[in-house]
């Protein structure tokens, strides 16, 4: 039976699979990577090289570490608000805030 993919809350395509009468939701990119992308280093996560969560072709997927996946192509800039740092100047041993 052909299953229709559904987007999860994070935008990844998922499909419900049934085994022994129980359903399990599986992310399609992990299924494709498990079947077609070698993982000689036994990395735990799968990265979309083009950052398109719907492009689940084997050529677009790679196994990686969590750190690599979270910082791939500067992803952290998209998810974390930039911290605005106040500019200071030093006079002797005292730090004084600069005026605008």
Tens-binned pLDDT, residue by residue, of the chain (100 aa): 778 999 999 999 999 998 899 999 999 999 999 999 999 999 999 999 999 999 999 999 999 999 998 887 765 555 544 444 455 555 565 655 555 5
Q: Any idea which residue has 């196994």 for tokens?
A: 63
Residue partners of 64: CB distance under 8 A and separation at least 6: 43, 45, 46, 47, 72
CATH code, 6-80: 3.90.75.20
Q: CA 45: distance to chain centroid? A: 9
Distance CA 53, CA 29 (A): 8
For the chain, what are the domain ranges? Answer: 6-80
* Contact criterion met (CB below 8 Å) for 57 and 33: no
What pLDDT does 83 receive?
46
Q: In this structure, how many other beta carbons lie within 10 angstroms of the beta carbon of residue 29?
A: 23
């Amino acid at each position: 039976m052909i299953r229709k993919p559904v987007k999860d809350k994070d935008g990844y395509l998922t499909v419900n699979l049934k085994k022994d009468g129980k359903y399990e939701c599986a992310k399609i990119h992990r299924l494709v990577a498990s079947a077609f992308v070698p993982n000689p280093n036994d990395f735990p996560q799968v990265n979309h090289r083009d950052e398109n969560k719907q492009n689940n072709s084997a050529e677009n997927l790679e196994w990686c570490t969590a750190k690599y996946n979270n910082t791939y192509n500067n992803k952290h800039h998209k998810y974390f608000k930039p911290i605005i740092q106040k500019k200071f100047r030093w006079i002797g041993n005292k730090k004084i805030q600069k005026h605008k």
